[in-house]
């Protein structure tokens, strides 16, 4: 267990970026991993096909929460189409350590939630209702 490998993950876990909920979000989406209880909610504000602002909240292991935090920094200002093109490996490579395959679900939860949020936004039009049961 090399401490330096965990630097980035632990930094984001202890000081999550863009944490909280977003007033007037265009779309909100949350999903969990039932087997481990990880949960990520994303609130997204869009402008001209780009992500103007994004906030995340949730609970769970350091990998899932830090990965979501890192993702919010990365996607702010990005085109929706560019986000839909993001690959799992893009996220896995951004974490500063080699994630074991048993933890892929945790590491990729944020990206999954973000893509689902954007798909829901496209499907529902401009003013989607927030999903049920948002976490505080």
From 3, 126, 127, 129, residue interacting with other proteins (rule: CB under 8 A): 3
Q: Total number of residues binding other proteins (CB under 8 A)?
A: 18
Shortest spacing between CB 2 and other proteins, in angstroms: 8
127 touches other proteins (CB under 8 A):
no
Counting beta carbons within 10 angstroms of the beta carbon of residue 17, is it exposed (0 to 12), middle (13 to 18) or buried (19 or more)? middle
101 binds other proteins (CB under 8 A): no
Which of 17, 45, 46, 62 is the binder for other proteins (CB under 8 A)?
62
Say if residues 26 and 49 touch (Cβ distance below 8 Å): no
Q: Between residue 32 and residue 51, which ones bind other proteins under the rule CB under 8 A?
A: 35-37
Candidate residues 8, 10, 86, 119; the one interacting with other proteins per rule CB under 8 A: 10
List, in sequence order, every beta strand (DSSP E) within the chain. Answer: 27-33, 38-47, 50-59
Angle between helices 104-124 and 62-75 (to 10 degrees): 40
Among left, alpha and beta (phi > 0; psi -120 to 50; other), residue 87 is: beta
Q: Which is nearer to other proteins, 32 or 117 (CB)?
A: 32
């Amino acid at each position: 267990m090399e401490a330096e490998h965990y630097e980035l993950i632990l930094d984001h876990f202890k000081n999550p970026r863009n944490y909280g909920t977003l007033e007037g979000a265009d779309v909100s989406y949350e999903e969990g991993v039932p087997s481990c209880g990880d949960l990520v909610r994303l609130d997204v504000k869009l402008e001209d096909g780009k992500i103007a602002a994004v906030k995340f909240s949730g609970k769970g292991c350091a990998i899932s929460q830090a990965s979501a935090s890192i993702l919010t920094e990365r996607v702010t200002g990005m085109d929706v189409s560019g986000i839909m093109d993001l690959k799992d490996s893009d996220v896995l490579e951004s974490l500063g350590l080699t994630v074991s395959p048993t933890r892929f679900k945790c590491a990729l939860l944020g990206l999954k939630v973000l893509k689902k949020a954007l798909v829901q936004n496209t499907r529902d039009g401009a003013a989607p209702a927030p999903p049920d049961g948002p976490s505080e």
